[in-house]
Amino acid sequence: MKKLLAICILSILAFANATYLTIQNYRIENATTNWKLSSFCDLNDIFSCTNVLSSPYSKVLGIPFPAIAMFVYPIIFLIAFLGMQWIIRKPFHILAVMWLGWIAFNSFFISREFLFIWAYCPLCLACSAIIISIFIMSVIWVFSDFWEVKKKKWLFSSIKDTLKFNK
Protein backbone atom coordinates (compact mmCIF):
# COMPACT_ATOMS: atom_id res chain seq x y z
CA MET A 1 0.00 0.00 0.00
CA LYS A 2 2.81 2.42 0.89
CA LYS A 3 4.56 1.54 -2.34
CA LEU A 4 1.55 2.55 -4.39
CA LEU A 5 1.11 5.70 -2.33
CA ALA A 6 4.71 6.64 -3.15
CA ILE A 7 3.97 6.15 -6.86
CA CYS A 8 0.82 8.28 -6.54
CA ILE A 9 2.78 11.09 -4.89
CA LEU A 10 5.58 10.92 -7.46
CA SER A 11 3.11 10.92 -10.34
CA ILE A 12 1.36 14.00 -8.89
CA LEU A 13 4.71 15.78 -8.63
CA ALA A 14 5.63 14.78 -12.17
CA PHE A 15 2.22 15.93 -13.44
CA ALA A 16 2.68 19.33 -11.78
CA ASN A 17 6.13 19.55 -13.34
CA ALA A 18 4.81 18.62 -16.80
CA THR A 19 1.95 21.12 -16.43
CA TYR A 20 4.37 23.93 -15.60
CA LEU A 21 6.60 23.00 -18.55
CA THR A 22 3.63 22.84 -20.93
CA ILE A 23 2.40 26.27 -19.84
CA GLN A 24 5.93 27.60 -20.19
CA ASN A 25 6.18 26.09 -23.66
CA TYR A 26 3.00 27.78 -24.85
CA ARG A 27 4.11 31.07 -23.28
CA ILE A 28 7.35 30.83 -25.26
CA GLU A 29 5.48 30.02 -28.49
CA ASN A 30 3.08 32.93 -28.07
CA ALA A 31 5.67 35.50 -26.99
CA THR A 32 6.48 38.33 -29.36
CA THR A 33 9.93 38.39 -30.92
CA ASN A 34 11.00 41.39 -28.83
CA TRP A 35 9.99 39.72 -25.59
CA LYS A 36 12.56 37.48 -23.88
CA LEU A 37 10.93 34.98 -21.55
CA SER A 38 12.81 33.19 -18.84
CA SER A 39 12.00 30.62 -16.22
CA PHE A 40 13.23 29.96 -12.71
CA CYS A 41 14.93 26.86 -14.09
CA ASP A 42 17.11 28.86 -16.49
CA LEU A 43 20.41 28.42 -14.70
CA ASN A 44 22.70 29.24 -17.65
CA ASP A 45 22.83 28.62 -21.41
CA ILE A 46 23.40 24.89 -20.98
CA PHE A 47 20.87 24.20 -18.22
CA SER A 48 17.87 26.16 -19.40
CA CYS A 49 14.24 25.13 -19.70
CA THR A 50 13.53 28.08 -22.01
CA ASN A 51 16.30 27.11 -24.45
CA VAL A 52 15.01 23.55 -24.61
CA LEU A 53 11.32 24.40 -24.86
CA SER A 54 11.88 27.03 -27.55
CA SER A 55 13.61 24.49 -29.78
CA PRO A 56 11.60 22.69 -32.48
CA TYR A 57 13.31 19.48 -31.34
CA SER A 58 11.33 19.60 -28.09
CA LYS A 59 8.20 18.60 -29.97
CA VAL A 60 7.07 15.22 -31.20
CA LEU A 61 4.73 15.43 -34.19
CA GLY A 62 4.14 19.08 -33.30
CA ILE A 63 3.11 18.28 -29.73
CA PRO A 64 5.34 19.58 -26.93
CA PHE A 65 6.99 16.78 -25.02
CA PRO A 66 5.68 18.00 -21.61
CA ALA A 67 2.11 17.96 -22.98
CA ILE A 68 2.52 14.27 -23.76
CA ALA A 69 3.79 13.75 -20.22
CA MET A 70 0.70 15.54 -18.88
CA PHE A 71 -1.37 12.81 -20.52
CA VAL A 72 0.70 9.90 -19.15
CA TYR A 73 1.04 10.82 -15.46
CA PRO A 74 -2.70 10.79 -14.65
CA ILE A 75 -2.88 7.29 -16.14
CA ILE A 76 -0.01 6.18 -13.90
CA PHE A 77 -1.71 7.79 -10.89
CA LEU A 78 -4.97 6.04 -11.75
CA ILE A 79 -3.31 2.62 -12.02
CA ALA A 80 -1.53 3.08 -8.68
CA PHE A 81 -4.69 4.41 -7.02
CA LEU A 82 -6.81 1.53 -8.32
CA GLY A 83 -4.11 -0.83 -7.08
CA MET A 84 -4.43 0.75 -3.63
CA GLN A 85 -8.19 0.10 -3.74
CA TRP A 86 -7.58 -3.53 -4.79
CA ILE A 87 -9.43 -2.98 -8.06
CA ILE A 88 -6.28 -3.83 -10.02
CA ARG A 89 -4.63 -6.90 -8.53
CA LYS A 90 -1.06 -6.53 -9.83
CA PRO A 91 -0.47 -2.86 -10.64
CA PHE A 92 3.32 -3.17 -10.48
CA HIS A 93 3.39 -5.41 -13.54
CA ILE A 94 1.39 -2.86 -15.54
CA LEU A 95 3.48 0.02 -14.21
CA ALA A 96 6.78 -1.69 -15.00
CA VAL A 97 5.78 -2.25 -18.63
CA MET A 98 4.39 1.27 -18.99
CA TRP A 99 7.45 2.85 -17.44
CA LEU A 100 9.75 0.84 -19.67
CA GLY A 101 8.02 2.39 -22.68
CA TRP A 102 8.06 5.81 -21.06
CA ILE A 103 11.80 5.52 -20.33
CA ALA A 104 12.41 4.68 -23.99
CA PHE A 105 10.37 7.71 -25.08
CA ASN A 106 12.09 9.95 -22.53
CA SER A 107 15.50 8.70 -23.69
CA PHE A 108 14.53 9.80 -27.19
CA PHE A 109 13.80 13.30 -25.86
CA ILE A 110 17.02 13.49 -23.83
CA SER A 111 19.02 12.34 -26.86
CA ARG A 112 17.45 15.21 -28.82
CA GLU A 113 18.53 17.61 -26.08
CA PHE A 114 22.05 16.21 -26.24
CA LEU A 115 22.44 15.92 -30.02
CA PHE A 116 20.47 18.85 -31.42
CA ILE A 117 19.55 21.41 -28.77
CA TRP A 118 22.82 21.38 -26.78
CA ALA A 119 20.94 22.46 -23.68
CA TYR A 120 19.27 20.56 -20.86
CA CYS A 121 16.03 21.33 -19.08
CA PRO A 122 16.56 20.80 -15.31
CA LEU A 123 12.85 20.14 -14.76
CA CYS A 124 12.82 17.62 -17.61
CA LEU A 125 15.81 15.89 -16.02
CA ALA A 126 13.96 15.88 -12.68
CA CYS A 127 11.02 14.25 -14.45
CA SER A 128 13.41 11.68 -15.91
CA ALA A 129 14.68 10.92 -12.42
CA ILE A 130 11.08 10.39 -11.25
CA ILE A 131 10.40 8.10 -14.20
CA ILE A 132 13.50 6.01 -13.57
CA SER A 133 12.84 5.78 -9.82
CA ILE A 134 9.25 4.60 -10.32
CA PHE A 135 10.42 2.07 -12.91
CA ILE A 136 13.09 0.72 -10.55
CA MET A 137 10.60 0.55 -7.67
CA SER A 138 8.07 -1.29 -9.87
CA VAL A 139 10.64 -3.82 -11.09
CA ILE A 140 11.90 -4.45 -7.55
CA TRP A 141 8.33 -4.98 -6.34
CA VAL A 142 7.51 -7.31 -9.24
CA PHE A 143 10.56 -9.44 -8.47
CA SER A 144 9.91 -9.38 -4.72
CA ASP A 145 6.40 -10.72 -5.41
CA PHE A 146 7.91 -13.38 -7.70
CA TRP A 147 10.41 -14.54 -5.06
CA GLU A 148 7.71 -14.50 -2.39
CA VAL A 149 5.63 -16.91 -4.49
CA LYS A 150 8.70 -19.08 -5.17
CA LYS A 151 9.45 -19.27 -1.42
CA LYS A 152 5.88 -20.30 -0.64
CA LYS A 153 5.92 -23.00 -3.32
CA TRP A 154 9.27 -24.29 -2.05
CA LEU A 155 8.03 -24.27 1.54
CA PHE A 156 4.83 -26.14 0.67
CA SER A 157 6.66 -28.71 -1.45
CA SER A 158 9.23 -29.36 1.29
CA ILE A 159 6.47 -29.78 3.89
CA LYS A 160 4.59 -32.09 1.55
CA ASP A 161 7.73 -34.19 0.98
CA THR A 162 8.37 -34.34 4.72
CA LEU A 163 4.83 -35.48 5.48
CA LYS A 164 4.73 -38.22 2.84
CA PHE A 165 3.82 -41.51 4.31
CA ASN A 166 5.25 -44.76 3.05
CA LYS A 167 2.71 -47.48 2.44
Q: Convert the pLDDT of each residue in 123-145 to its tens digit.
A: 999 988 988 888 888 888 877 76
d(Cα 52, Cα 54) in Å, to the nearest integer?
6
For residue 69, count CB atoms less than 10 angstroms from its CB and return exposed for 0-12, middle for 13-18, buried for 19 or more: buried
Has residue 34 got a pLDDT over 80?
Answer: no
pLDDT in tens, 76-113: 999 999 998 888 888 888 887 887 888 888 899 999 99
Alpha helices in 47-90 (DSSP H): 49-53, 65-84
**pTM of this structure:** 0.79
What confidence tier does 120 reach under pLDDT thresholds 50, 70, 90? very high
d(Cα 167, Cα 155) in Å, to the nearest integer?
24
Give the chain's domains with CATH numbers.
Answer: 2-162 (1.20.1440.130)
Has residue 19 got a pLDDT over 90?
Answer: yes
- Listed ranges 46-50, 139-143, 156-160; the one with the highest mean pLDDT: 46-50
Is residue 17 within 8 A of residue 123, CB to CB? The reply is yes
Has residue 43 got a pLDDT over 70?
Answer: yes
User: What's residue 95's pLDDT?
Assistant: 83
